[in-house]
A and B are shown apart, each in its own frame.
Chain A
């Protein structure tokens, strides 16, 4: 017990100090309470409906497969790639010094490090993904099934976290075997999801080909868990236990290796932080490219855009240097081809699938683009960002315009591709106008949520949920405005689209104003972001 108290001293006090800091910010406590409430609410919602049908639908099976296979793929990736980039061993040079001289048996130190790594990973996973897991579990489940499934995910997470450190210590043949096994596991686990996706698309020529593929649904373990069969938990639990034991045994004589892994990890984190900062300012080439590239360029004579729009100009300029032209061309070609492919597929009778795919895109986009604001902190730390008399709201708008214009260009290309095949511009144009408005709304939601809670921990927890909910909530006013326009104006589709888009743009402008109001004069708070 004394050993545990000694080793955990720093972590315990750091946790207490973090909670004390939180206590001084009731707004943050409220957001975390809201997050907890939402997660519990989801759980209640999932368990309060009527009992699930005897046979799950294809969609339910695919979703369950996605979750289970996703964990297995993650396990394979970690096994193949190693740990030094994902987990801390010693959290700092100071801790390494303290632990190795603490007069505690190395086996105890190793065990503590392993347990801490697993607990940390699980804690972060719960904070970041709890509501997503609850989203993914179909409604109509029971509390017993829900708890069993969450236990499964927890043990699967523990298995992933446990294997990272032994993998990092593996050398020679063991390392090669781990890499090979990791790749094989990841590929094998990805296959059922791929088959599910192909089946759900109902491609006209696919069923015959798919008939020959053996049906494997790893997601069925969730269903088995729901019926009280707890064997599925035993497997990840055994992996976690074995991996932990292997680590503790191996780490007894491995202080130098652990220290080396820790330093590599610390250096990597520092590089990521620096790179993220520079990239957020719209600025950095991918790792390794800076050295290879000439430090000199042909300078642009001047900006065609003035005032806050100059921020969009430098964003575009830096993007053109950060991303190779071939990649940009490839992305553009992909967007064009995707649009054309969707149109061709719709012609073959797959309108429903096209509709579902197009309908799902905004959801994915919300998840990706709503993090816009997270990259704002480093951009605002640039001294030149603040020069001149342009209002902050205009600066934020100009800063957002750069990435927005690239997204908009991709949307435009996809629609162009669609129109080139379908020969019908009316429907795609309406989708494009709606997409452009949604893009603006999503980007500015990210900005506003970041301004409301710039703390990095909050951004990974309640802010994710808030961004998603806020985006979907803010889609309601444009939808209502569009519906009203149908009854008021002639040409219902056009007027509904334009009215809805205009409403969304007004919302976006209000969100930028809110962000400016929150951030003005509070740059010191961004240091925590």
Chain B
């Protein structure tokens, strides 16, 4: 069972930002969405998260069509991971637990999440004192606590130092192991190759290539993933 997107289309006036995009992502799969600037990656994510209304297309999870308010199933962590500056890390989790009406006992799961994301020491730190990496982790912890099985990470590597990038890769691997569907929008192709099982390459709103990293590399024989990307997005 999986996330299934069919014919997703979004137009802004005469410009088609996303044109009939269709793909499936299985549970426990991490998929990179790559493409040049303006390819429609962020719009796709906004449509998937229900923040922008698509003109056409359907989004289903585990065979069930999702309506416009799909915040329980799909959660977006945008490129700028905005947290509430005057809430502590723990209060972000408490807020999400209340907002999503979690059952009693959520505190234990929240503690586990903080430990796994190495946030325990920061549980009383206000949002305005967190680094970008910490904010991203706070959002990840809150989102996972909220129970959304599909996570959309928009350009998560931007602004992270090498250690932060390594930590993020480990977190994504954990999410995969737990059966989450994870889509990662990125420009950093080699990093995506190291983190993701598959890659979707979009250009001008359309899917121009997809496959496992090995399958994509095999397109050019000994070529790098960057060469493949340039090949498919130049045409």
Contact partners of A307 in chain B: CB under 8 A: 98-99, 101
Contact partners of B125 in chain A: CB under 8 A: 295-296
Could you mark each residue 307-333 of chain A with 1 if its beta carbon is under 8 Å from any beta carbon of chain B, else 0? Answer: 111110110011001100000000000
- The smallest beta-carbon distance between A492 and chain B, in angstroms, is 43
- The smallest beta-carbon distance between A377 and chain B, in angstroms, is 12
Does the CB pair B100–A298 fall under 8 Å? no
Alpha-carbon gap, A296 to B87, bound state (A): 10
Interface presence of B220 (CB below 8 A): no
Does the CB pair A384–B69 fall under 8 Å? no
| Known contacts A318-B84, A522-B52, A387 near B99 by CB under 8 Å | yes
Interface presence of B81 (CB below 8 A): yes
- The smallest beta-carbon distance between B140 and chain A, in angstroms, is 10
The listed residue with most B CB atoms (<10 A of its CB), out of A322, A384, A387, is A384
- The smallest beta-carbon distance between A393 and chain B, in angstroms, is 10
Alpha-carbon gap, A113 to B54, bound state (A): 44
Does the CB pair B50–A386 fall under 8 Å? yes
Does the CB pair B53–A384 fall under 8 Å? no
Does the CB pair A521–B52 fall under 8 Å? yes
Query: In chain A, what residue has the closest Cβ to B97?
Result: A302
Query: In chain B, what residue has the closest Cβ to A313?
Result: B98
Our pick among A281, A296, A318, A524 for the contact of B51 (Cβ within 8 Å) is: A524
Contact partners of B146 in chain A: CB under 8 A: 387-388
Could you mark each residue 58-80 of chain B with 1 if its beta carbon is under 8 Å from any beta carbon of chain A, else 0? Answer: 00000000001101100111100
Alpha-carbon gap, A295 to B83, bound state (A): 14
Interface presence of A24 (CB below 8 A): yes
| Interface of B, helix, strand, loop or mixed by DSSP | mixed
- The smallest beta-carbon distance between A479 and chain B, in angstroms, is 36
Contact partners of A321 in chain B: CB under 8 A: 86, 126
Contact partners of B81 in chain A: CB under 8 A: 383
Does the CB pair A278–B98 fall under 8 Å? no
Our pick among A302, A383, A392, A522 for the contact of B98 (Cβ within 8 Å) is: A302
Contact partners of B101 in chain A: CB under 8 A: 306-307, 388
Does the CB pair B128–A290 fall under 8 Å? yes
Does the CB pair B53–A520 fall under 8 Å? yes
Interface size class on chain A is 35 or more
Does the CB pair A296–B126 fall under 8 Å? yes
Interface presence of B142 (CB below 8 A): yes
Interface presence of A523 (CB below 8 A): yes
Interface presence of A175 (CB below 8 A): no
Does the CB pair A318–B86 fall under 8 Å? yes
Does the CB pair B91–A317 fall under 8 Å? yes
Interface size class on chain B is 35 or more
Interface presence of A344 (CB below 8 A): no
Our pick among B76, B91, B94, B99 for the contact of A308 (Cβ within 8 Å) is: B99
| Interface of A, helix, strand, loop or mixed by DSSP | loop
Interface presence of A282 (CB below 8 A): yes
Interface presence of A297 (CB below 8 A): yes
Contact partners of B124 in chain A: CB under 8 A: 296-299
Interface presence of B139 (CB below 8 A): yes
Does the CB pair A521–B51 fall under 8 Å? yes
| A267-295 interface with B by 8 A CB criterion | 278, 281-285, 290, 295
Interface presence of B95 (CB below 8 A): yes
Does the CB pair A388–B129 fall under 8 Å? no
Interface presence of B185 (CB below 8 A): no
Does the CB pair B84–A387 fall under 8 Å? no
Does the CB pair B95–A303 fall under 8 Å? yes
Could you mark each residue 387-411 of chain A with 1 if its beta carbon is under 8 Å from any beta carbon of chain B, else 0? Answer: 1111110000000000000000000
Query: In chain A, what residue has the closest Cβ to B77?
Result: A383
Contact partners of B82 in chain A: CB under 8 A: 281, 381-383
Could you mark each residue 38-51 of chain B with 1 if its beta carbon is under 8 Å from any beta carbon of chain A, else 0? Answer: 00000100100111
Alpha-carbon gap, A322 to B128, bound state (A): 12
- The smallest beta-carbon distance between B111 and chain A, in angstroms, is 12
Alpha-carbon gap, A267 to B91, bound state (A): 31
Does the CB pair A302–B143 fall under 8 Å? no
Contact partners of B85 in chain A: CB under 8 A: 278, 281, 283-285, 290
Does the CB pair B46–A285 fall under 8 Å? no
Alpha-carbon gap, A295 to B131, bound state (A): 12
The listed residue with most A CB atoms (<10 A of its CB), out of B69, B89, B107, is B69
Alpha-carbon gap, A383 to B138, bound state (A): 11
Query: In chain A, what residue has the closest Cβ to B154?
Result: A383
Alpha-carbon gap, A281 to B107, bound state (A): 25
CB-defined A-B contacts under 8 Å, sample of 8: A303-B95, A313-B95, A383-B82, A384-B84, A387-B148, A389-B71, A522-B53, A523-B46
